Amino acid sequence: MYKSNKRLLILDADGTTIDAFQAIEAAFDRHGLSLGEEEHFQKRHNLFKYLGGIKEFPAIFKKNIRKKSRAELIDTLTEVYRTEARLYPGIADLIRTLVAAPDVMVGLVTRNITNEPLETLRQLFARHDLDIHAFDFLVHVPLKEKKTAQFRAIRERFDINPARGYICGDEHKDFHAALNTGLHPFMVSYGFEDHARLTEKFGVPADVISRTSRELCARVCHALDLPASS
């Protein structure tokens, strides 16, 4: 039925592999703005959409941010991502393990809103001694588009049995996009949505949620029969 016997792993970027909170916090700080505590940050709905201009900013930012200053903020965020932003602990080694596995197709699907986001990610990953060209795919999804179509397109492109496909994400929309394309979700609660929001508000099973990046790495390696990353 399927020509390929390989397995597929789709990684989300911001909030799953990349510590987006620290990067956004640094960018906001340089403009005299404060994100507040990370716990509160996680409860805000789709902050990247505010930065991307799809919606109005939350009330605490409205009086300080206009179209011009929003562009300046994104310029700063781009610089921070390219020169300072970090991958979560253990993620770099996990990616090296995945890329080296001959029977695993692995890549990124991202909504990153920096300027020239793929170049931004290239520079960020290069600082971790990772070449994004080693990925089997790297897809940037506009904020207004859902990830579901991209997940399906990637799976079909490589002719992967859905039962052998996985995604790693940090938002409830990632979870539902995975289910809607027949893929298994590895969810995390250290990114844009916390554990309570994922489980209590959106019904994401706690069984599929990792609370730390190292727990995610261990789950992925175990599921794919790969050597545990350090």
Winning range, highest mean pLDDT, from 50-59, 63-72, 194-203: 194-203
Confidence at residue 118, expressed as pLDDT on a 0 to 100 scale: 96
Confidence at residue 120, expressed as pLDDT on a 0 to 100 scale: 98
Residue 21 CA to residue 214 CA, distance in Å, equals 17
Tell me the Cα Rg of the chain: 17
Domain 7-19+87-223 CATH class label = alpha beta
The string of pLDDT tens digits covering residues 1-27 is 888 999 999 999 999 999 998 998 898
Which of the residue ranges 4-13, 57-66, 130-139 would you say has the lowest mean pLDDT? 57-66
DSSP 136: S
pLDDT over 80 at 160, yes or no = yes
Query: Average pLDDT of the chain?
Result: 88
In the chain, domain spans: 7-19+87-223, 20-83
Give the global pTM: 0.88
What is the rounded (10 degree) CA torsion for 95, 101, 105, 110? 0
